Amino acid sequence: MRKFNQEIKDPKIIEEILSDSEICRIAMMDGDKPYILPFNYGYEINTIYIHCAPEGKKIDLLKVNGSVCFEVEHTAELLKAEKACKWATRYRSIVGYGEVEILNEFDQKKRGLEIIMRSNGAEGDLNFEKKQIDAVAILKLNISELSAKQSSNWNI
């Protein structure tokens, strides 16, 4: 990271960013080109869970190479000014790396769906029908490395 003064090292803030954000972008390799997609997700203890269709390009790519780069942004706000060169962005974000597992066992998929739903505000009993769980793939991104950053104007 070039701007070390903007690095977030506090584990509580990093957990807050991962827990409270809504979109995670995952970049995977398509031969020699990156392929990136946005996902709603759930987070629990150094792990990101994503539900998706059980077939398609992303599944094909992840079966070949599960190593990914991911990005999560928390609070991205454009701050306009009278002069164009004075515009700024106020943000917190995370960029990281990990390995994606495609979960196939029913109980693992159900737990992944529960984490996703709870992370997005679901409360009470989560009653999934077997056919709903069978119809989706659950991606489990095991985070191996990450860095977190905030804009220099974060506390303004």
pLDDT by 10-residue block (mean), the chain, 156 residues: 70 92 95 95 94 93 96 80 78 93 91 86 76 90 94 66
What are residue 100's DSSP bridge partners? 141
Predicted pLDDT at 4:
58
Q: Provide the 8-state DSSP code for 63.
A: H
Predicted pLDDT at 5:
63
Predicted pLDDT at 2:
56
The domain ranges of the chain are 4-150
* CATH architecture for the domain at 4-150: Roll (2.30)
Predicted pLDDT at 3:
55
